[in-house]
Amino acid sequence: MGDEAQAALLLIYIDETDTWGHARVPLYEAIVEKLFGLGVDGATVQTGIMGYGANRRLHRKRLFGVTDDRPVTISVVDTEQRLREALPEIKPMIQEGLVFLVPGEIVR
């Protein structure tokens, strides 16, 4: 994908402690590896310092800055078509969380 192309942004909100499969791999890692295997252009995982979701439970740093359940956002960029094709592979992996697709344009 080059400069100034039509694209989309997929935002996936999960918890850092969410896991996937029998090996209990971190969910964010399993999702990024699945996206990579599907040929999606790019994904970045960010941890949050504070947040809450539909369950209305606050996630924040605790004593000495340690928390056991930080919010995690996976930002994924590619064409809308490719992201929509990847969604059926990703959605079953997310038991709790939010998946948000935003149309956009790459300007650089």
Class of residue 101 by CB neighbours under 10 A (exposed 0-12, middle 13-18, buried 19+): middle
Instruction: Give the per-residue pLDDT at 1.
Output: 54
Instruction: Give the per-residue pLDDT at 69.
Output: 76
Give one word for 72, left, alpha or beta, with left for phi > 0 and alpha for psi -120 to 50: beta
Domain boundaries, the chain: 5-106
Rounded distance between C-alpha atoms, residue 89 and residue 16, angstroms: 20
Per CATH, the number for 5-106 is 3.30.70.120
Rounded distance between C-alpha atoms, residue 6 and residue 94, angstroms: 27
Supply the mean pLDDT for the chain: 88
**Residue 8 forms beta bridges with which residues?**
78, 103
pLDDT 10s digits, 62-83: 666 555 678 899 999 999 999 9
pLDDT 10s digits, 47-64: 988 787 777 777 766 666
Rounded distance between C-alpha atoms, residue 20 and residue 93, angstroms: 7
